[in-house]
Amino acid sequence: MYLEIPRKFGAIVHQAQQVARSVFRPISRKYDLAEHAYPQELDMFAAIMDGMNDGAADGGAGAGKLARSGGKPSEGNVNGTNMKTVLGLTELCWGDVGLALSIPRQGLGNSAIAAVASEAQLARLGNTWAAMAITEPGAGSDSAAIRTTATLDGDHYVINGEKIYVTAGERANAVVVWATLDRSKGRAAIKSFVVEKGTPGMAVVRLEKKLGIRASDTAAIRFDNCRVPKENLLGDPEISVDKGFAGAMQTFDNTRPVVAGMAIGLARAALEKTRELLAPVGLEPDYQLQTWQQPAVIRELQLLEAELEAARLLTLRAAWMADNGQPNSKEASMAKAKAGRVGNAITLRCVELCGSLGYGETELLEKWARDSKILDIFEGTQQIQLLIIARRLLGKSSSELK
Amino acid sequence: MTRDPIGLALSLMNRVAGQAWLDRLGLRPVVEKTAYQGTRAGFRTLALAGREFRRVNEWLPKQRLPAKAPADLFNLTLDEDQQMIVDSLHRFARDTLRPAAAAADEAATIPAGLFAAAAELGLTLYAVPEAFGGVAETASPVTSVLIAEQLAWGDMGLASALLAPFSVAQAITRWGSGEQQSRYLPAFCEESPPLATIAIDEPTPLFDPLKPATSATVTGSGYCLNGFKSGVVLGAESDLILVAAELHGRPRLFLVETAGTDGIRVKPDPAMGLRAAKLARLEFKDLRLPADALLGGDDFDYQAMLDLGTLLRCGLAIGSAQAVLDYVIPYCNEREAFGEPISHRQSVAFMISDLAIETDSMRLLTWRAAARAETGQSFHREACLAHLLCSEKAVAAGSHGVQLLGGHGFVREHPVERWYRDLRSVATLYGGVHA
Ligand SMILES: Cc1cc2nc3c(=O)[nH]c(=O)nc-3n(C[C@H](O)[C@H](O)[C@H](O)COP(=O)(O)OP(=O)(O)OC[C@H]3O[C@@H](n4cnc5c(N)ncnc54)[C@H](O)[C@@H]3O)c2cc1C
């Protein structure tokens, strides 16, 4: 048993930290204020990131590498792509969550493609920047209730419907769209389709103005008789009982720890900044067993740090399990639930502890407290994670425990 | 890691059927009705026909167990020996501790034969280096935490009693001089090891273990001890007590043998929970101690001693919280209200999810701190974080447990009310433990 981050990941953590510090932080406030402006600074950085991943001997890290590693039982103990991606994203989000979500070719759609694409599709689509479009105005948490349809017409599928809240939906080169082949057949008929930018019939109709992560574009996209080649359906085109949908849902087992990692990076930033602001006042962290004799703020910081550390270790566990081919649905949701809520609570508390300094725009604390909320919502809300965990623990189906 | 004698002892135990084990050791939940009316009884002189520890003339040089080498990779897998210890102790907890727990709590006593069972398990051997008759080759706080988790899953009160002598052996191994180790450690490897405990807590609000009011002054022949200790596990039963006291303005530990000493008075100090651990108050009044009663020398580190204790305390918390979780799952699936199992309601189900999340949070924080300690890395910060998290979450786990059973959780028919009481101790006691 050993719970330290392996030395071999020191380089990637260091690199990501440099990017967060030197690329993201200096432009963090700029793009928070200039919502919907494209952060050009990221293009150059994305090229570096591509180079890092392509050159990595152990398969690299990032959204497009995630899921492939899961599933196969490994020999011996592996610290692999999942852990590395979590660690990388944690550091990047220490810099800025919105910008991290805007890194070209690191979209959630890339994870979906990596998870279910055939070899041929991977060769064709693997290097694109793909956003993910599941959510609709009438269906969010209940993703099986989507209404967007895909109808086979010759060599093409014709897609009709409306998707909302598509992260990087405007900037990405493609969107992975969930649509149903036959609404009467339930979740088994839900398939994902890659729709490339510029395909006639697909239009970005709106960019949302948001509470936080304003550097990340969140698009509403309409599909009006949008024709995509048959080969763009990811995975198996047959409507088999639930298998395809379950497969798609499994992608979340790999992406949830990454989102948890994002919350951890962000919360760590807030804690570090709070300590930095408190130091000149003579309040420095002082780890004690009897905490009730300490100044309230010192005890609170120790507690927040403990909560953050718990979230971090739960997240590393989930990623480690994925790296080692162990089923990790429950643990991935535990990590996401814990990190989502403590990340949010920590950033909000740090604003409070720093008073008007925390609340004002001079520091980034108030921004982090706005950014953190989304991490407890997307990729499954807090409640959805608790539901998944409870169903696993109690052995309940979704019809029993709704 | 090679299989060591304790491993063998434990694997042997696997083959002993639970029932036979119970009978053989007299662990049936019939406990003598000893009076334990603590608060009414006053202090009495601690006059045990206790064990005498012989001074040895030719003592061995002091032994320090080496740290393990840090691993290259993050790894949550238990090694073969750890897994075997966990499996064996889980059976022991399930077949022996759990069935005896309710009666032990009720009568505030330890079932006859329990310490014999622990001795047979070789618990204390694991804390003692080979040179003194034990089996320990390296420092192993992780294994200690795993042991505490499993025992406390059975019952935290009984686990506390079993772990107090283990903890004393750990502390002497970790901090003792060669002379002290030679005098005390072999006894812990005998067929019936001594009872022993660590007395740190004092009857004062906001007690800080770094600042004991109990004090030691230097006399011509050694030391003179004055002060009070409270919540001392096995306080009236122990042959040997490690007592925290201030010496020259700094906290230290003193080895106090209880046989034939005057200057110690004791009375029961029954508490909200951990009743089977027979908590006691001790009063030291001009207790004369020899010069070699001061534990350790230059390498003694009081804070590290407390931190190692914390790890074991957290292990107790995790085990008990896990017991709550394992109990409420089947209960909430079986209990029906409004025409369906209560577990079909989210406000019930989500409480269970939270229990699971926080129990694993406690576990991972504690494991990390222990793994750092085991590999010779700094672990004070990690131990403090684990302690604070466990303090907060343990008490919540106890509360969730009772709430999930409703009125049935409030009555003694179910163990959750006991766990509620026991789990409150995590944030309140510092003594009796050392990993
Ligand atoms: C900035 C941003 C970026 C996003 N990016 C993407 C993206 O890239 N791709 C994408 O597809 N989606 C994306 N989303 C959508 C996001 O995943 C959904 O908003 C989220 O899953 C919740 O769905 P909803 O908003 O419809 O809320 P609802 O499902 O309407 O939920 C409302 C509330 O009810 C609770 N609730 C719902 N069902 C249950 C239940 N069974 N039990 C208990 N409580 C329940 C929820 O927890 C929540 O608190 C994004 C959203 C935002 C705001």
Q: Find which of A4, A7, A338 to mutate to test the B interface (most B CBs within 10 Å of its CB).
A: A4
Instruction: Find all residues with CB under 8 Å of A107, minimum gap 6, and list them.
Output: A63, A129, A130, A131, A132, A167, A168, A172
Give pTM, 2 decimals: 0.94
Could you state, in chain order, the average pLDDT of each consecutive group of 10 residues for chain A (402 residues)? 96 94 97 95 78 60 64 77 95 97 88 87 90 96 96 98 97 96 92 96 98 98 98 89 72 91 98 97 92 96 98 98 96 98 98 98 98 97 98 97 96
Domain borders along chain A are 7-125, 130-234, 244-394
Same-domain status, B258 and B226 = yes
Are B320 and B271 members of one domain? no
The DSSP code sequence of A168-218 is TTTTSSEEEEEEES-GGGGGGGEEEEEEETT-TTEEEEEE---SS-TTS-E
8 Å CB contact of A320 and B208: no
Residue B333 has its nearest CB partner, among A334, A383, A394, at: A394
Contact B74 A306 (CB under 8 A): no
The reply to whether B103 falls in a domain is yes
Instruction: Please check whether residues B311 and B245 belong to one and the same domain.
Output: no
Chain A contact set for B429 (CB, 8 A): none
Which CATH number applies to A7-125? 1.10.540.10
Is B435 inside a domain boundary? no
Distance (Å) from the C-alpha of residue B13 to the closest C-alpha of chain A? 25
Tell me what pLDDT residue B66 has: 94
Closest CA relative to residue A62, chosen from A101, A95, A6: A101
**pLDDT, position A68:** 55
C-alpha B83 – ligand 1 centre gap (Å): 41
Tell which B residues from 133 to 162 touch A, by Cβ distance under 8 Å.
142
At B14 the pLDDT is 45
Which CATH code is given to the segment(s) A130-234? Answer: 2.40.110.10
Atom of ligand 1 nearest to the CA of A378: 17
Nearest-CA residue for atom 12 of ligand 1: A135
**What's the pLDDT at A243?**
67
- Check whether residue B205 and residue B174 sit in a common domain: no
| Token reading at B229 | 């200790």
The verdict on B355 and B229 lying in the same domain is no
Report the alpha-carbon distance of residue B84 to residue B55 in Å, rounded. 37
Residue B432 falls inside a structural domain: no
According to DSSP, the β-strands at B240-247 and B196-199 are: parallel
Q: What is the pLDDT of residue A261?
A: 98
- Residue B220's CATH number: 2.40.110.10
What pLDDT tens digit does each residue of chain B (435 aa) get? 344 555 545 544 444 434 444 454 544 443 333 334 444 457 777 655 578 898 888 888 999 999 999 999 999 999 999 999 999 999 999 999 999 999 999 999 999 899 998 888 889 998 999 999 999 999 999 999 999 999 999 999 999 999 999 999 999 999 999 999 999 999 999 988 999 999 999 999 999 999 999 999 999 999 999 999 999 999 999 999 999 999 999 999 999 999 988 899 999 999 999 999 999 999 999 999 999 999 998 889 999 999 999 999 999 999 999 999 999 999 999 999 999 999 999 999 999 999 999 999 999 999 999 999 999 999 999 999 999 999 999 999 999 999 999 999 999 999 999 999 999 999 999 999 999
Q: Residues of B numbered 169-208 whose beta carbons fall under 8 angstroms of chain A's beta carbons: which are they?
A: 206-208
Domain count, chain B: 3
Residues forming beta bridges with residue B110, ordered by sequence position:
none
Pick the residue whose CA is nearest to atom 50 on ligand 1. A165
Residue A67 confidence (pLDDT): 54
CA distance B371 to chain A (A): 6
Q: Which of B194, B224, B243 is the last residue of a domain?
A: B194
Q: Does residue B417 lie within any of the structural domains? A: yes
CATH of the domain at B141: 1.10.540.10
Do B248 and B326 sit in the same domain of this protein?
no
Contact yes or no for B24/B214 (Cβ under 8 A)? no
Would you say the C-alpha torsion B82, B85, B91, B94 has a positive or negative sign? negative
Query: Given the CA of residue A382, which atom of ligand 1 is nearest to it?
Result: 47
- Write out residues with Cβ below 6 Å of ligand 1: A 108, 131-135, 140-141, 165-167, 210, 213, 218, 374, 377-378, 381, 383-384, 387, 402; B 346
Query: Residues of A with CB below 8 A from B360's CB?
Result: 314, 317, 334
Are residues A289 and B387 in contact, defined by beta-carbon separation less than 8 angstroms? yes
B355 and B278 in a common domain: no
Nearest residue (by CA) to ligand 1, atom 38, is: A141
- B315 falls within a domain: yes
User: Can you give the pLDDT at residue A246?
Assistant: 76
In angstroms and rounded to an integer, the radius of gyration of the C-alpha atoms of chain B is 21
Q: Which CATH superfamily is domain A244-394 in?
A: Butyryl-CoA Dehydrogenase, subunit A, domain 3 (1.20.140.10)
- Measured from the Cβ of residue A235, the count of other Cβ atoms closer than 10 Å reads 17
- Minimum distance, in Å, between the CA of residue A173 and any CA atom of chain B: 36
The whole-number pLDDT of residue B32 equals 36
Tell me if chain B has a CB within 8 Å of the CB of A400.
Answer: yes
Residues B70 and B9 occupy one common structural domain: yes
**Contact across the interface for A79 and B74, Cβ inside 8 Å:** yes
- Cα–Cα distance between A254 and A119 in angstroms, integer? 20
A interface mutation test: which of B68, B72, B75 has the most A CBs within 10 A? B75
| Closest by Cα among B433, B428, B435 to B230 | B428
Gap from B114 CA to chain A (nearest CA, Å): 30
Would you give the DSSP letter of residue B79?
A: P
Asked if residue B46 and residue B65 are part of one domain, the reply reads yes
Structure tokens at B142: 């992780």
Answer yes or no: are the C-beta atoms of B203 and B228 closer than 8 Å: yes
Classify residue A364 by its DSSP letter: S
pLDDT of res. B9: 52
Q: Per-residue DSSP letters for A60-76?
A: --SGGGTGGGSSSPPSS
| Residue with CA at minimum distance from ligand 1 atom 32 | A141
CA–CA separation, B366 vs B369, rounded Å?
A: 5
Contacting residues of A for B357, CB less than 8 Å apart = 314, 334, 337-338, 389
Q: A294 in contact with B at a CB cutoff of 8 Å?
A: no
Q: Which of A377, A398, A400 to mutate to test the pocket of ligand 1 (most atoms within 8 A of CB)?
A: A377
Of B176, B194, B212, which marks where a domain is finished? B194
Quote the DSSP letter at residue A140. S
Cα A308 to chain centroid, rounded: 18
Tell me the three state secondary structure of residue B154.
helix
Nearest-CA distance B345 → chain A (Å): 7
State which amino acid sits at residue A341: R
State in Å: Cα A386 to ligand 1 middle.
14
User: A264 and chain B: CB distance < 8 Å anywhere?
Assistant: no
- The answer to whether residue B268 is domain-embedded is yes
What is the secondary structure of B364-381 as a DSSP string? HHHHHHHHHHHTT---HH
Q: How far is CA A264 from CA A341, A361, B363, B402, in A?
A: 10, 22, 19, 32
Q: What is the pLDDT of residue B48?
A: 55
> How much is the pLDDT for A239?
87
The set of catalytic residues of A is 379
- In B, which residues are within 8 Å of A317 by CB distance? 76, 360, 364
Bridge partners (DSSP) listed for residue B341: B336
CA A169 to chain centre: 15
Q: Exposure of A11 by Cβ count < 10 A (0-12 exposed, 13-18 middle, 19+ buried)?
A: exposed
In chain B, residues with a C-beta closer than 8 Å to the C-beta of A290 are 206-210
Phi, psi of A133 (to 5 degrees): -125, 95
Same domain, B260 and B308: no
**CB distance from B332 to chain A under 8 Å?**
yes
Q: What is the dihedral of CA B128, B134, B135, B139, to 10 degrees?
A: 10
Comparing CB atoms, the residue among A292, A293, A337 nearest residue B357 is A337
Residue A377 CA: nearest ligand 1 atom is 20
Same domain? For B339 and B406 the reply is: yes
Residue B253 has which token pair? Answer: 């530990």
Q: Which domain holds residue B144?
A: 5-194
| Residues of chain B positioned with their CB less than 8 A from the CB of A400 | 341, 344
Q: Which of B194, B219, B248 finishes a domain?
A: B194
Closest CA to A352 of A296, A395, A399, A306: A296
